[in-house]
Amino acid sequence: MDHLTTTKHTTDTEATDTQQIAGQKRDASAITTISSRESSTSSGEGLEIRKESKGEGEAKRPKLGEEQTSSNRSDNNMTLIEETSMEGRQCFVTVGATAGFRPLLSEVIKPEFLNCLAISHFDLLKVQCGEDFEWFDEQVKSLPSSPVTIERFAFTENMTKHYIRSRGEKSVRMPGVVVAHAGSGTILEVLRLQVPLVVVPNPTLMDNHQAELAQELESTGDAVYGRLGKLTEAIARSLELVAQGPLKLKDLPPYSPPPFPVPDSERVTLFDWMTLTCYPDELRKQQHLQDLRNVEKSFQRELEQAKVPQRETVQDRRQRDLD
């Protein structure tokens, strides 16, 4: 556990270097970009390895995206500066902590998928491999070249940080995507963090309710149902949803964890009511109060409905007077 965290620390700083360099590379011409990435050879250290061109790694660019506020920039140049100074898109693939998911891992390093990511302005592919880490590592090392940086690790205690790297925040980061197995805990956390999500059910684990969950999410528009073999379409669809969809996942404010305890008006009260059933007198009294309140609410609603036609007739009369 310990050495995992230390490598994580080093990779954090190195990862930001990667992002800065990636940002630089976006500005540079296409040819130099591809050749510079091709020239990098992987040098693995510990569990967290990344493909990095160390030769160009020294130039430090300040993280404009995170430090600049909108007041520093003129409105004319805002989009251009925003685009070049914001953190690039990350595609974070996670297979979960309980079972392996090799088909997904092998699909995300196929050339079609990597090219699709590069075309869509992704510059980082991060993969949580679970138990297939060694196998995946070898697969990546045997790749001739990759248009996108590939980071990989087996497990981590802090998934939130990686999800947030894919979170689209206004002037800070371009929205990426999380490609996740259909575990409800993972899905709930990603949706809670408002990160674009592609759910890929594991066919070998199919006890039917994984696909059911993915289908339900697709129909409510909360996520994209990713099918093995059609992931490029899923990514495209996800980006489309982000750009035009109702969820507004593009220009979010920086993430802040929700307040705890939950404010009283939003709390779940089921268990309180059940506790009250153990005290029948108290329950009856409070049910009565609740009923009174419902009566009060319906009275108010009736009053409002009664008022509306009156208002119209007054306006109608004025119209008639004018005419």
Partner 1 sequence: MAPTTSASVLTGKEESRNDQELKPDTRAETYSQLHVETVSGINLTAAAFVAGAASSTAAGLVLSGLSWPWLISLVITVGIVLVTFIVYRHFEIIRRRQKPGGSWLVPSNTPQPNAAGTQVPNTTSLPAVYFTYILGSGGHTAEMIETIKQSFRGQANIHRRYIISIGDTSSLAKARLLEATIKDAYPGEDARAGTSDIFLIRRARKVHQPLCTAPFTCLISAFHAANALTRMPNPRSTKDHGKGFRYPHVIVTNGPANGFIVCFVAHLLKIFYLVPENRAKMVYIETWARSKTMSLTGKLFLKTGIADVVGVQHESLARIFKGSQYIGPVSAGFLQR
Residues that bind partner 1 (CB under 8 A): 97-98, 182-185, 187-189, 191-192, 194, 208-209, 212-213, 216, 258, 260-262, 264-284, 286-287, 289-294, 296
Other beta carbons within 10 angstroms of residue 19's beta carbon come to: 22
- Residues in a beta bridge with 225: 199
The Cα 227–Cα 103 span in angstroms is: 11
Q: Which is nearer to partner 1, 144 or 246 (CB)?
A: 246
Q: Which is nearer to partner 1, 170 or 293 (CB)?
A: 293
Q: Which is nearer to partner 1, 83 or 189 (CB)?
A: 189
The Cα 38–Cα 203 span in angstroms is: 34
Name the minimum Å distance from CB 293 to partner 1: 4
Name the minimum Å distance from CB 102 to partner 1: 20
The Cα 238–Cα 190 span in angstroms is: 14
Q: Which is nearer to partner 1, 66 or 189 (CB)?
A: 189
Tokens standing for 59?
């130039």
Name the minimum Å distance from CB 275 to partner 1: 5
Name the minimum Å distance from CB 87 to partner 1: 23
Buried b (16+ CB within 10 A) or exposed e, 22-53: bbebeeeeeeebeebbeebeeeeeebbbbbbb
Of 84, 99, 91, 96, whose CA–CA distance to 119 is shortest? Answer: 91
Q: Which is nearer to partner 1, 112 or 272 (CB)?
A: 272
- Asked whether 82 and 67 are in contact (CB, 8 A), the reply is no
Name the minimum Å distance from CB 213 to partner 1: 5
Amino acid at the residue 214: A
Name the minimum Å distance from CB 271 to partner 1: 5
Q: Which is nearer to partner 1, 257 or 309 (CB)?
A: 257
Non-local (6+) Cβ contacts of 223 within 8 A are: 187, 191, 197, 198, 199, 214, 217
